[in-house]
Structure formats: C-alpha cells, structure tokens
Amino acid sequence: MSKKIFLFLFFSVTAAMAAEHTWLDSEKIGEFSMGMSDKNLKQKLNCAFKLGEDTMWGADGLYHQTWDCPSLGISFDMSSGRKGGKKIINQISIAAPSKLKTRRGIQIGSSEQQVIKAYQDVKDMQGTIPHEMFVAGSVYGGLFFQFKNDKVESIMLGSGAE
C-alpha cells in the first residue's frame, strides 16, 4: 500500500471516529450525559437511589456501581478510578415509566419510524436489527433503542460492547 493511500485511510478513519465521539459526547437523555459527575446527577435528580455493589471491571480497570431509580424508570452505571471514589456517569438506561427524551426528541413509546427519522444520519448498520434494535453511533458508544410492537421499550446511552 502506498504511503498516500495509507495516510488517506488513516485520516479518514480518524476523522470518522472523532465525529462519532463529538456526536456521542453531545448526546443526552433528559438532562443527563456521559461523564456527568455524581454531584451534578444528585442535584438534577431527586431520587433515593438503590445502589449496587462497587465492583472493579477487568475490561476497563474502573470501579462500576449501578444507581437505580425504578420509580422514574432510570438507571445509571457510575464509574470511578477507585473503590468508593467520586463517580461519573458511564451509561444511562431508561424504560417505563420514564418520560425523559433524547436530544432529538425520542422517548419511551416513540415509534420505530420516529427513531429512524431522527437518527438515520448516525445509524450503525451492523448493530441495528429491524423491529428489534436501532443503534445510533456504534455498539462501542451510542444510543440503543429497543423495540416491542414497533414502539421504543428502552433506551440506553453508552457502550454495548467492549
């Protein structure tokens, strides 16, 4: 492979990855985004969280803890560099009865066609399964819309693969 072709491919892939990260970094569910601090989360959401065990994941070397708020239909995977340390949002999941929306206006109960219309420009072709799952971004970092009877049943913002 010539040096020119290699450099073209390298910069094309790098630019695509940067654009995906920029998109993912700006995506939200309600007021919540990836990397938000535990302090900001507690200020924005008045909930008596059910906390999971603070456990180290070998895949990323971080400590993860689930913070659930079932009455609002929202769950967070919180992570930190040390056990019991200050945490940031690593993943956000919603299901009924959540009324939260994505930045592009999709919520629990939205139709599959509404999701396609809103996120077609960032659709992951390999991760998307018609009538089951739509992946915006990629399985390594994106929005995952799960469908039941043509309606959004759950939404997850984060990584679906390691």
CB half-sphere exposure, 66, CA atoms < 13 A: 9
Let me know whether 69 and 122 are in one domain.
Answer: no
d(CA 30, CA 42): 14
Please write down the long-range contacts of 79-83, taking CB distance under 8 Å and 24 or more positions apart.
83/54, 83/56
Same domain, 162 and 107: yes
pLDDT digit string, tens, across residues 47-84: 999 999 999 998 889 999 999 999 999 999 999 999 99
Tell whether 112 and 158 lie within a shared domain: yes
Q: Which helix (H) or strand (E) holds 50?
A: strand 50-51
Residue 2 structural domain: 1-29+101-162
pTM of the model as a whole = 0.85
pLDDT tens digits along 110-149: 999 999 999 999 999 999 999 999 999 998 899 999 999 9
Q: What is the total count of domains within the chain?
A: 2
| Residues 135, 121: Cα–Cα separation, whole Å | 11
